Amino acid sequence: MRGVWLGAVAVGLALARPAVAHHSFAAEFEADKTAELAGKITQVWWANPHVRYRLHTTVAGVQEDWELQASSITALMALGWSQNTVKIGDELKVSGQVGRNGAKKLYVRTMLRPDGSKVVTGRGDANQPDPNQVHVTAGKTFGYGNARKSYPVDITGPWRNSYKFRVTVDDLEPKPTPFTAEGRAVFASLDHYQDPALRCLAMGLPRLFGAPYNMEIVDAGTHYVFLYVEQNSSRRIFMDGRKPPADTPDTSLGYSVGHWEGDVLVIETTHLLPGWLDGSGLPMKGEGTRIVERYELAKDRLSIDRTMTIYDAYYSQPLVRKRGSARDDSVDISEQGSCDPDGYYRDLRELGKLEQRLK
């Protein structure tokens, strides 16, 4: 079957549903260059951080193998996918943005089967609920466990974090990014393949806060436990007034203490490891970094406006990230598949950079 190149005319359609991606989409793919290919699936990598396929196709009379990249297992399962949604031997017509520097890679935006049926690839597709609406049964009780009566609001239970979602790349305010001289130098020294997410390392709190995947909150008495589907992570928010012990180690999620200010839950986190603030590689120093989150509930208690403020020595002003959470009858907190860095090392091998990275 023949692959057909499209031009910038298709960009508006392709960008209508931004990628739910951990790392910088722009570092791997050309946002303004798209392609449409038709062919047969020859390999499947059903693994986080991104599901990948190998497509055998013909372009301008030449047989080629292309890598198709999709969202994470977590995001695709939320759209109704399973490991068998796209299988070896399936014939598909696909479109999306192409890899940089002539790489035969495609970030998939649409998939069509020979009978014309569409494989849902994003929340903007027909029959998918609007992520910015609350979908809930009136009167349903979500809280459970022994919620402390001293708290003004019971926030326990499941939450959908795709509410008011933005891709966690270039989403921090203010702009332009207020680097210090040290921060600008560190940012300039980084490249795409240093992204911890590609190597299946813990992304840490700033990016976890921005992820669109579901979470569950449990009241454990002295603390809240936040359970994130993303990387099957758990986080403790101490609510009993304690301070971090002197020997507290630095970790990707840090040490968090919280308190209620009226109906707003305020969380302060310290003791963070160095990392990335977003998928473009904005660096976080770790040492001395302080993060403050505010969770402001709507009057009906069915949604939350979340604001994160990051105080870091690499920036001359605090950086702010905003997101939302919503109650939802369909929220699923099942464990997601483990992350597999196979794609990361395969990309390095194809670029001739593997030996350099392994040194």
User: Residues spanned by CATH 2.40.50.140 within the chain?
Assistant: 2-124
> Residues 33, 104, 67, 342: what is their CA dihedral angle, to the nearest 10 degrees?
-110
Task: Give the model's pLDDT for residue 10.
Answer: 33
Look up the CATH number of domain 2-124.
2.40.50.140
Cβ neighbors of 181 (< 8 A, separation 6 or more) are none
Task: Give the model's pLDDT for residue 268.
Answer: 98
What radius of gyration do the chain's Cα atoms show? 22
Q: How many helices (H) and strands (E) does the chain have?
A: 7, 18
Task: Give the model's pLDDT for residue 8.
Answer: 30
Cβ neighbors of 199 (< 8 A, separation 6 or more) are 341, 344
d(CA 274, CA 205): 11
User: Residues spanned by CATH 2.40.128 within the chain?
Assistant: 157-326
The residues of the chain scoring below 50 in pLDDT are 1-23
Computed from CA positions of residues 258, 259, 260, 264, in that sequence, does the dihedral angle turn out positive or negative?
Answer: negative
Tell me how crowded residue 61 is: count the other CB atoms within 10 A of its CB. Answer: 6
Task: Give the model's pLDDT for residue 348.
Answer: 78
Lookup: tokens for 241: 């007034």
User: By C-alpha distance, which of 302, 285, 304 is closest to 293?
Assistant: 304
Task: Give the model's pLDDT for residue 279.
Answer: 87
* 3-class state of residue 50 by DSSP: coil
Residue 110 half-sphere exposure toward CB, CA atoms < 13 A: 20
Task: Give the model's pLDDT for residue 147.
Answer: 59
The class of domain 157-326 in CATH terms is mainly beta
Rounded alpha-carbon distances, angstroms, from residue 355 to 347, 349, 351: 12, 8, 10
Task: Give the model's pLDDT for residue 359.
Answer: 62
| DSSP-derived secondary structure letter, 327 | -
**208 exposed, middle or buried (CB, 10 Å; 0-12, 13-18, 19+)?**
buried
Q: Are strands 283-284 and 290-297 parallel, antiparallel or unpaired?
A: unpaired
Q: What is the pTM of this model?
A: 0.68
Task: Give the model's pLDDT for residue 24.
Answer: 58
Cβ neighbors of 111 (< 8 A, separation 6 or more) are 86, 92, 93, 94, 118, 119, 121
∠ Cα 248 254 259 (to 5°): 100
